Amino acid sequence: MSLIETRGLCLGYGNDVVLRDVTFSIDRGEIVTIVGPNGSGKSSLLRAVIGALQPVSGSVTRAKGLRIGYVPQQLHIDATLPLTVRRFLNLPHRQKASDIAVALTRAGVPELADAQMAQLSGGQFQRVLLARALLGRPDILILDEATQGLDQPGSASFYRQIEEVRRELGVAVLMVSHDLHVVMAASDRVLCLNGHICCEGSPEVVADAPEYRALFGTGTQGTLALYRHDHDHAHDHDHGHTH
Amino acid sequence: MLDDFLVRAALAGLGVALAAAPLGCFVVWRRMAYFGDATSHAALLGVALALATDLPILAGVLLVALTMALIVSALSERHVSTDALLGVLAHAGLAFGLVAISLVPGQRVDLSAYLFGDILAVSPLDILVIWGGAALVALLLILRWQAMLTATLNPDLATASGGNPRREQLILTIALAITVAVAIKVVGALLIAAMLIIPAAAARPFARSPESMAVCAVAMGALSVFAGLYASFAYDTPTGPSIVSAAALLFAISTGLSPMVRGK
């Protein structure tokens, strides 16, 4: 049984349809990455999956008792709101101090419990968000461009943290990302969106699909070039592709 | 000398501070300053409605403030940039309210009582209503505190952890309308928003947690009420504006002190 399954999902705001006919599912322990250009419906899909956006048509089915750990795209905390990391992790439900310590350690920031949220660096902030997502003992982590605003080493190290968490806890991961080269390599499956699902499959299949290349170019972009470079070295390129 | 009317005024002012200060924290955290303006200015329209239909003033104000708050709340959900729109609503509410009151036939109304409050004339019944409303607002905030804080940080985050940010927004909206309705007698429609925002802002430098900020804001509000009443009594200045002036001075002092408080 899949953790989350969508069928013929159609999403929109008012009269604008941003995403149509999305059917996909994610299983226990899987890493699925969603890529696509700006405005392609990536974030909308995640919002529908967590229940924050009602579908225009189609359905989202979540497994019974599914626990979701959500890491939002950006979380702006107003400077007028005093909030320590510990207090933040106690929202909306109070947590045991020992659980908080474990979650912060897993997220790689064990020393930050008493820091003010407003004073964290970008990387620290995302790790605290990750810790908060882990506190609910999630079956699935859902990350919406969680490394936006981090530099390349910063986001690479964040994704290593995610992979480590997955190895330790066996959670599934569903994420939206722009860091194609980092993310795609770590994924079991990639979903390429542009108003609908253009193509999907293993990272290798998607990176070679013409629909994907039409969206992201064929190596002129730095990030993609880097990815394909690694990829070309790892695989014999003349076999096994279904286009 | 403890004049009876001064005691009543102080009690009324404290009641308003009790509701407005913690609610004001949310207004500040959520950047809803214009939201408070629009709602409280619309209260004048409520006064006009009450005068025209022989409803009690409280009911008229509550009704119109709630309507305005719901409209603003719905609009701000739909549009990303609502700054200009909220500005229009805030001032339109005020202007239409003033026009509407002038059109009510048969009575010459003391407008300044509604614009700037008439705290020295509160009756024991007024005090009862103010404290009733304040207690209701405080109760709503205490019951929904955790959920409202989460929704304030990020609506999607709240939804993902099983909350309902729309419900929290609605409760805040209702609390705001109640506060406006009970505060109009004390500080007047023009300055209610000030009693929401200034004590909260003045409390910020001293707070390390949302809870301590709310408590500190109540203290700041109460201090402003006492200082304003005293100044009004001693120098014969208008009471509502004196209270808000005192709050503004407290804000200036606490902001000036904040580098020392934070140890930087």
Residue B20 maps to which CATH number? 1.10.3470.10
Of A239 and A59, the structure prediction assigns the larger pLDDT to A59
Work out the mean pLDDT of chain B and round it to a whole number: 89
pLDDT of residue A182: 64
Residues 6+ positions from B236 with CB-CB distance below 8 Å:
none
Q: Interface pTM (ipTM) of the complex?
A: 0.84
CB-based contact, B208 to chain A, within 8 Å: yes
pLDDT of residue A185: 67
First to last CA, chain B: 44
Strand order in the sheet with A4-13: A16-26, A4-13, A57-62
pLDDT of residue A181: 65
Helix, strand, coil distribution of chain A in percent, nearest 5 = 40, 25, 40
CB contact under 8 A, A92 and B153: no
pLDDT of residue B86: 80
B261: closest CA of chain A, how far (Å): 14
Q: Which two structure tokens, joined as six digits, stand for B101?
A: 């009151």
Q: Which two structure tokens, joined as six digits, stand for A198?
A: 């253009």
Residues of A in contact with B158 (CB under 8 A): 92
pLDDT of residue A56: 92
Residues of A in contact with B155 (CB under 8 A): 52
In this prediction, residues A65-83 reach a mean pLDDT of 87
- Residue B110: count of CB within 10 angstroms of its CB: 9
- 3-state class (DSSP) for residue A109: coil
Of A182 and B228, the structure prediction assigns the larger pLDDT to B228
B262: closest CA of chain A, how far (Å): 12
Work out the mean pLDDT of chain A and round it to a whole number: 82
Residues of B in contact with A72 (CB under 8 A): 154, 156-157
The pLDDT of residue A98 is above 90: yes
Query: What is the tens place of the pLDDT at every residue in B139-197?
Result: 999 999 999 999 999 888 898 888 899 899 999 999 999 999 999 988 898 889 999 99
pLDDT of residue A218: 57
pLDDT of residue B168: 93
Structural domain boundaries enclosing B29: 4-190
In-domain check, residue B217: no
Q: Of A169-178, B131-140, B249-258, where does mean pLDDT reach its minimum?
A: A169-178
Residues of A in contact with B152 (CB under 8 A): 81
Cis amide leading into A92 (omega within 30):
yes
pLDDT of residue A239: 44
CB-based contact, B232 to chain A, within 8 Å: no
The pLDDT of residue A225 is above 70: no
pLDDT band with cut points at 50, 70 and 90 for residue B134: very high
Instruction: Say which of B150, B158, B207 has its CB closest to residue A82.
Output: B207
The pLDDT of residue A178 is above 90: no
Q: How far apart are CA A77 and CA A117, in angstroms?
A: 8
DSSP label at residue B79:
-
CB contact under 8 A, B150 and A47: no
The pLDDT of residue B106 is above 80: no
Residue B216 CB burial class (10 angstroms; 0-12, 13-18, ≥19):
buried
pLDDT of residue A38: 82
Number of domains present in the structure of chain B: 1
Q: CA A83, A86, A87, A93: dihedral to nearest 10 degrees? A: 150
CB contact under 8 A, B160 and A50: yes
The pLDDT of residue A243 is above 70: no
CB contact under 8 A, A75 and B153: yes
- 3-class SS string, B176-205: HHHHHHHHHHHHCCCCHHHHHHHHHHHHHH
In-domain check, residue B202: no
CB B20 within 8 A of CB B176: no
Radius of gyration of chain A (CA): 18
The pLDDT of residue A108 is above 80: yes
Hey, of B145, B153, B216, B264, which one would you mutate to test binding to chain A, going by the most A CBs within 10 A of its CB? B153
In-domain check, residue B180: yes
pLDDT of residue A141: 93
Residues of B in contact with A93 (CB under 8 A): 146, 161
Instruction: Say which of A51, A70, A87 has its CB closest to residue B157.
Output: A70
Residues 6+ positions from B22 with CB-CB distance below 8 Å:
B138, B141, B214, B217, B218
Residues 6+ positions from A147 with CB-CB distance below 8 Å:
A126, A154, A155, A158, A159, A177, A179
Of B49 and A179, the structure prediction assigns the larger pLDDT to B49
Q: In sequence order, which ranges of B30-164 are alpha helices (DSSP H)?
A: 33-53, 57-78, 83-103, 111-116, 124-153, 155-160
In this prediction, residues A18-35 reach a mean pLDDT of 91
In-domain check, residue B250: no
pLDDT of residue A230: 40
Residues of B in contact with A142 (CB under 8 A): 160
Q: What is the interface size between A and B, counted as CB pairs within 8 Å?
A: 68
Q: What angle do CA B246, B252, B254 make, to 5 degrees?
A: 100
Token pair 């004001």 is found at B24
In-domain check, residue B196: no
Listed in order, the ranges of chain A carrying CATH 3.40.50.300 are 26-52+140-243
Q: Report the percentage of chain B scoring pLDDT > 70.
A: 94
A4-13 and A16-26: which strand pairing?
antiparallel
CB contact under 8 A, B160 and A51: yes
The pLDDT of residue B79 is above 80: no
CATH topology of domain A26-52+140-243: Rossmann fold (3.40.50)
CB contact under 8 A, A80 and B147: no
Residues of A in contact with B213 (CB under 8 A): 81-82
